[in-house]
């Protein structure tokens, strides 16, 4: 795909104001609904106030830093200079939820200086959009602040004016795989999750939340707090002051240093972001996070094609087969089982079976986990460095033959690199590993970081790992490899700059339904995820489980949705790589619903969020690039509901052949998850439809152009 930026209009009205009176301290979004006021108080403390529709949403919130071996940046500032600019461009996503993205904002740059010695400088830049704001700190080149800067804490505040209904996960420094909580902001209690049995790594030191954290107000205001362009810095959690309804940045640290971030002057921080809308659907349509990132630095990435994929994966989570060649790992406890078995999943024969199935069903890729040596020493093994090598297949996996067979059938093999969080081993082997992929024409890798980070003392979300994840992706791009990381750092829109960062996990994925001892993901999980985690970027959730109860494998586990909802997820949850996660035999037993997976697109021209309430339900329509077919998906939580659909988003003068996959009359996520009704009708722009979603249910519609 050709990537280019078409700048429709960049009207740069640069106002620079030096004299005290003319200083600009207010900036409004293009539609003037979002307003930021910036100033310093009488102690010289910098602060901002944010209003939306004439209502204060963030009241006086202070900004600043603490450093190791240097006085803090928190007061004693004067405003030296302010300037504003207008920006309006339309850029194109090489793959994505939509082709054209409008990036239209007003900018305020404030240049601060300390009043007294050491008279250092700090700039703060606000970009104000119709759908929210981003601001960041710039440490400009200066004589009295040079070389290395050691940040012990960033003090960015979000001082809220209402006790919002808040959808949050704890501020874990090591993993985002928590269920969402719905409480008032004043009731956030993250520390109750400090010990979590289903997680191989977890560390929650404060009453803090991770981002994106989404809030809904009494009058319908929707807010989501996150960050954009997280580069060479630590991830930000938000510490909650439940009494004063105040959020404060709390950066992820390291046990190995007495600071949280080390930078070399001059530098910028990531953007601190607040998405603001007056309804839930607009939150999903907001492109603020990608807009705040720099344009594509990789140029043409057409070697990566969005694709559906199957794989040797769910069978291991179900316990049907294993990753390793000679031992068993028990995924429900993440401990080393250690018994010999003879049920290795990644055999040449098994992978060929997936290739055949994929080729028949319009699925472009097959993921193969457990193909390389090392798995026998994986979980529970402290000294994990040097265990995996990413180039040596097990003896029953003929990689040359599998790749050859895939090519013959038009199916690409997706590489798997479980690093076991042994980062030094992985860094050392990246060139060899990616070169092997290039040799085989493999353009996508799923990487994994299960377990505590090595070197010891580092956390998954600290600066060391932020650099590891970003550097891995940048290196992979040189070998035309796209990356889908599990146990990743959160998405912050870097896919705009590096479009080989295709997808990631970073939430409780489908796998939890296979083995979590807490009953798996409840039906409300994804109607929350769509308005929280999904605002940050693509999700490798791995939908499409048809054998919902899988009693023959695990009596005590199941997927907590109907089969119709599993289909809806291909549209609702966005990712340019979308797994058909179930076993071949489970699909072959259900050819009718399988037709939807065969038809559904994976790369979109347009996305429209038709309705939704955070945590309750959501319906999304997406138009496929190239074909112009539309696909619609809707999901609900544990409550059944009836939705009215209006098809005015369809193209003019077109008649579509619609196949509707909806919950049957008696469907229910637990009592009757397989009850599905499939019906074919014609739909046009002026059509309306009433659809009933069962408890934990959903629906999917393909609208194929005739």
Q: Which residues bind ligand NOJ (CB under 6 A)?
A: 313, 369, 418, 448, 450, 486, 505, 511
Residue 511 annotated to the active site: yes
Burial of residue 54, with CB atoms counted within 10 A of its CB: 0-12 exposed, 13-18 middle, 19 or more buried: exposed
User: Looking at beta carbons, which residue is closest to Ca ion?
Assistant: 486
CA distance 121 to 530: 40
User: What number of chain residues touch Ca ion (CB under 5 A)?
Assistant: 1
How far apart are CB 486 and Ca ion at their closest, in Å? 5
End-to-end CA distance of the chain: 25
Residue 179's nearest CA partner among 164, 165, 196 is: 196
Which of residues 76 and 557 has its CB atom nearest to ligand NOJ in the complex?
557
Instruction: Identify whether the C-beta of residue 523 lies closer than 8 Å to the C-beta of residue 491.
Output: no
Which of 487, 511, 524, 695 is an active site residue? 511
Which H or E run includes 688?
Answer: strand 688-693
How far apart are CB 450 and Ca ion at their closest, in Å? 7
How far apart are CB 511 and Ca ion at their closest, in Å? 6
How many C-beta atoms surround the C-beta of residue 265 within 10 A?
Answer: 13
Which of residues 236 and 445 has its CB atom nearest to ligand NOJ in the complex?
445
Instruction: Identify whether the C-beta of residue 75 lies closer than 8 Å to the C-beta of residue 582.
Output: no
- What does 311 bind: ligand NOJ, Ca ion, none (CB cut-off 5 to 8 Å by kind)? none
Which of residues 450 and 563 has its CB atom nearest to ligand NOJ in the complex?
450
Q: E strands within 349-453?
A: 365-368, 412-418, 444-448
How far apart are CB 579 and ligand NOJ at their closest, in Å? 10
Instruction: Identify whether the C-beta of residue 273 lies closer than 8 Å to the C-beta of residue 227.
Output: yes
- What does 624 bind: Ca ion, ligand NOJ, none (CB cut-off 5 to 8 Å by kind)? none
The structure tokens listed for 298 are: 């990789």
Which of residues 486 and 533 has its CB atom nearest to Ca ion in the complex?
486
Which of residues 421 and 580 has its CB atom nearest to Ca ion in the complex?
421
Residue 622, beta-bridge partner list: 607, 631
How far apart are CB 674 and ligand NOJ at their closest, in Å? 25
CA distance 183 to 163: 10
- Label each residue of 295-315 as H, E or C: CCCCCCCCCCCCEEEEEECHH
Burial of residue 398, with CB atoms counted within 10 A of its CB: 0-12 exposed, 13-18 middle, 19 or more buried: middle
Q: 665-691 burial string, b = 16+ CB within 10 Å, else e? A: eebbbeebbebbebeeeebbeebebeb
How far apart are CB 545 and Ca ion at their closest, in Å? 16
Which of residues 418 and 663 has its CB atom nearest to ligand NOJ in the complex?
418
Which of residues 384 and 623 has its CB atom nearest to ligand NOJ in the complex?
384
Q: 342-371 burial string, b = 16+ CB within 10 Å, else e? A: eebbbbbebbbbbbebbbebebbbbbbbbb
How far apart are CB 196 and ligand NOJ at their closest, in Å? 15
| Contact map string, positions 441 to 460, toward Ca ion, x by CB under 5 A | --------------------
CA atoms within 13 A on the CB side of 631: 26
Instruction: Identify whether the C-beta of residue 563 lies closer than 8 Å to the C-beta of residue 546.
Output: yes
- What does 369 bind: Ca ion, ligand NOJ, none (CB cut-off 5 to 8 Å by kind)? ligand NOJ
Q: How far is CA 667 from CA 212, 528, 677, 699, in A?
A: 33, 22, 10, 12
CA distance 551 to 586: 13
| Contact map string, positions 150 to 189, toward Ca ion, x by CB under 5 A | ----------------------------------------
How far apart are CB 308 and Ca ion at their closest, in Å? 20
Instruction: Identify whether the C-beta of residue 98 lies closer than 8 Å to the C-beta of residue 604.
Output: yes
Which of residues 511 and 663 has its CB atom nearest to ligand NOJ in the complex?
511
- What does 418 bind: Ca ion, ligand NOJ, none (CB cut-off 5 to 8 Å by kind)? ligand NOJ
Binding window for Ca ion (CB under 5 A); candidates: 298-306, 464-472, 480-488, 622-630: 480-488
**Binding interface with Ca ion (CB under 5 A):** 486
Catalytic residues: 511
């Amino acid at each position: 795909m050709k990537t280019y930026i078409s700048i429709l209009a960049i009207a740069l009205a640069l106002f620079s104001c030096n004299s005290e009176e003319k200083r600009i301290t207010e900036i409004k979004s293009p539609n003037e609904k979002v307003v930021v006021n910036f100033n310093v108080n009488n102690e010289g403390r910098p602060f901002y106030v944010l209003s939306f529709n004439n209502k204060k949403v963030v009241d006086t919130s202070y900004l600043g830093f603490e450093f190791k071996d240097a006085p803090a940046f928190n007061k004693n500032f004067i405003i030296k200079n302010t300037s504003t600019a207008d920006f309006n461009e339309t850029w194109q996503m090489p793959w994505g939820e939509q082709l054209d993205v409008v990036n239209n904002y007003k900018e305020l740059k404030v240049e601060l200086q300390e009043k007294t010695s050491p008279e250092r400088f700090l700039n703060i830049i606000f970009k104000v959009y119709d759908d929210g704001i981003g601001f960041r700190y710039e440490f400009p080149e200066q004589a009295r602040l040079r070389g290395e800067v050691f940040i012990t804490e960033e003090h960015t505040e979000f001082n809220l004016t209402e006790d919002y209904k808040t959808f949050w996960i704890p501020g874990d420094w090591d993993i985002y795989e928590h269920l969402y909580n719905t409480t008032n902001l004043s009731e956030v209690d993250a520390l109750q999750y400090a010990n979590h049995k289903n997680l191989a790594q977890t560390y929650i030191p404060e009453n803090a939340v991770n981002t994106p954290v989404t809030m809904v107000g009494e009058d319908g205001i929707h807010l989501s707090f996150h960050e954009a362009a997280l580069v060479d810095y630590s991830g930000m959690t938000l510490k909650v002051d439940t009494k004063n309804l105040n959020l404060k940045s709390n950066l992820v640290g390291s046990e190995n240093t007495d600071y949280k971030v080390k930078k070399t002057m001059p530098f910028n921080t990531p953007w601190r972001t607040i998405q603001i809308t007056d309804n839930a659907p607009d939150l999903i349509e907001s492109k603020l996070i990608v807009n705040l990132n720099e344009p594509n630095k990789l140029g043409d990435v057409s070697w990566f094609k969005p694709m559906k994929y199957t794989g040797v994966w769910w069978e291991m989570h179900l316990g049907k087969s294993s990753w390793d060649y000679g031992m068993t790992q028990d995924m429900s406890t993440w401990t080393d089982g250690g018994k010999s078995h003879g049920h290795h999943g990644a055999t040449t024969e098994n992978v060929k079976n997936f290739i055949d199935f994929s080729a028949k069903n319009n699925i472009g890729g097959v993921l193969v986990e457990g193909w390389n040596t090392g798995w026998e020493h994986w979980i529970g093994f402290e000294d994990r460095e040097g265990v995996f090598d990413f180039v040596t297949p097990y003896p029953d996996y003929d990689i040359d033959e599998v790749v050859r067979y895939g090519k013959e059938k038009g199916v690409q093999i997706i590489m798997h690199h479980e690093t076991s969080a042994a980062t030094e081993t992985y860094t050392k082997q990246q060139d060899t590993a990616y070169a092997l992929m290039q040799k085989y024409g493999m353009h996508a890798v799923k990487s994994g970081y299960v377990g505590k980070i090595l070197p010891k003392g580092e956390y998954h979300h600290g600066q060391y790992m932020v650099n590891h994840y970003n550097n891995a992706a940048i290196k992979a791009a040189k070998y035309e490899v796209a990356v889908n990381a599990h146990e990743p750092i959160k998405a912050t829109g870097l896919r705009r700059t590096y479009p080989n960062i295709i997808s990631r996990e970073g939430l409780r994925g489908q796998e939890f339904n296979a083995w979590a001892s807490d009953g798996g993901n409840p039906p409300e999980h994804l109607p929350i995820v769509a308005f929280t985690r999904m605002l940050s970027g693509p999700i490798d959730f791995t939908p499409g489980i048809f054998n919902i109860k899988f009693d023959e494998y695990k009596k005590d586990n199941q997927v907590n949705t109907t089969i119709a909802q599993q289909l809806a997820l291909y549209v609702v949850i966005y990712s340019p790589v979308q797994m058909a996660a179930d076993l071949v035999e489970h699909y072959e037993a259900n050819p009718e619903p399988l037709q939807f997976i065969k038809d559904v697109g994976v790369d979109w021209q347009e996305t429209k969020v038709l309705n939704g309430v955070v945590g309750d339900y959501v319906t999304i329509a997406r138009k496929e690039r190239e074909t112009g077919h539309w696909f619609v998906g809707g999901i609900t939580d544990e409550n059944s509901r009836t939705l009215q659909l209006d098809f005015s988003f369809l193209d003019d003068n077109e008649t579509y052949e619609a196949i509707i996959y909806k919950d049957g009359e008696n469907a229910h996520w637990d009592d009757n998850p397989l009850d599905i009704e499939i019906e074919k009708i014609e739909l046009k722009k002026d059509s309306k439809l009433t659809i009933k979603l069962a408890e934990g249910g959903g629906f999917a519609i393909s609208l194929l152009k005739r």
